[in-house]
Amino acid sequence: MLLRPALLPALGVFAVAARHQNFAHAAEELHLTASAVSHHVRRLEALLGTVLFQRHARGVRLTAEGRQLADAAAAALSDINAVAGNLHPQADVVPLRITTLRSLSYCWLVPRLPRFTRLHPRMRIELQTSSELVRFDENGPELGIRYGLGQWPGLAAHHLMDDELCPVASPALPGVSALREPAQIATLPLVSDMSPQGWRDWFRAAGVRGLDLTAQHIFSDSTDAMRAAVYGIGAVLARKHIAQPYLQRYELVRLPGPALKARYAYYIVHAEHRPLSPTAVAFMDWLKREALDERTPVPALPDELLNRPHDQTPHDQRS
């Protein structure tokens, strides 16, 4: 059965009456009379062919059928209220759409975002992760963080931070503790993330040549490659900023050999033709300051969970 639009007011009155389970209190909230509330409810009952309230001398009480309809009506009105709020956002809330790589978001940006939100409590972040360049139009993101050479058609690029590649592996991976020379890493299972620079480039920089590196585990995403290394599948050639939180937690350890400077770097990008909002400028300035701090923040946990005195706060939990 479909409710006719003309009966929707009766459903709204019923929802308020069901919440109060008192027609007089509902009438007061709706600025109606108690008899008008009763009229709306009886009209709805007639349409549905069921009794929604039990009437008695002391008032009314929902029937089982009334309770089902009341729950559905309350949920529907709550959804409508949420959508209506989004149509007219609060004047003091400022949104900012950002796009970046999943690996950088997971390991570098998101752990730092609480610092930004504490500094700018009125700003609301809308973060999208993608390996593809999205459209920076009026409906798209205002800022992006990309990994490359710093040249993208139609985009202005601001250097954020350089990167370097180094070999890492789980400390539990068999053979890791015995490694002393870069050439010995080739005896381990190797993991690749399909980056422009790979194991062959690193071994060449380490002075190791003539290796057969064809048998590698290959992951299309850097985050998955890092997690594979954490769980002991093999050693991975990791980007410094992506590996940092894993190294801090001792889920991965640095293996012997040099750090290879990456050909690519991280850049903040935005549309050339679109002036940046004050919010975007503030976020870009904050990103550049964060890039100077290589330590990844640790989650702020209550003292009772960490079992430490209140005056002993980890150095990394700073603002």
User: Three-class SS of residue 209?
Assistant: coil
Q: Distance between CA 165 and CA 241 in Å, rounded?
A: 9
More confident residue, 99 or 89: 99
Predicted local distance difference test score (pLDDT) of residue 85:
63
Q: Give the HSE-up count for residue 33: Cα atoms under 13 Å, Cβ half-sphere.
A: 3
Judged against a pLDDT cut of 50, whether residue 319 lies above it is answered with no
Task: Report residue 54 as tokens.
Answer: 């039990």
* Confidence bin at 296 (pLDDT 50/70/90): confident
Q: How confident is the model at residue 141 (pLDDT cuts 50, 70, 90)?
A: confident
Percent of the chain with pLDDT over 90: 53
Can you read off the two tokens belonging to residue 88? 């007219």
* Amino acid 210: pLDDT: 86
Query: What's the average model confidence in pLDDT over 97-110?
Result: 92
Confidence label for 318 from pLDDT (cuts 50, 70 and 90): very low
pLDDT (0 to 100) of residue 65? 92
Residues 11 and 66 sit within 8 Å (Cβ to Cβ)? no
Greater confidence, 195 or 89?
A: 195
Q: What is the pLDDT of residues 236-295, one digit of tens each?
A: 999 999 999 999 999 999 999 999 999 999 999 998 888 888 889 999 999 999 999 888
Nearest in space to 256 (alpha carbons), one of 197, 187, 161: 187
Q: Which helix H or strand E contains 100, and what residues bound it?
A: strand 94-100
User: What distance in Å separates the CA atoms of residue 173 and residue 213, rounded to the nearest whole number?
Assistant: 19
The CA angle 194-196-199, to the nearest 5 degrees, is: 70
Average pLDDT, the chain: 86
183, two tokens: 């050439």
Would you say residue 140 has pLDDT above 60? Answer: yes
**Average pLDDT of the residues in 205-232:** 91
State residue 92's pLDDT score: 65
pLDDT band at 316 (very low <50, low <70, confident <90, very high): very low
The predicted structure's pLDDT at residue 297: 83
pLDDT at 266: 96
pLDDT more than 70, % of the chain:
87
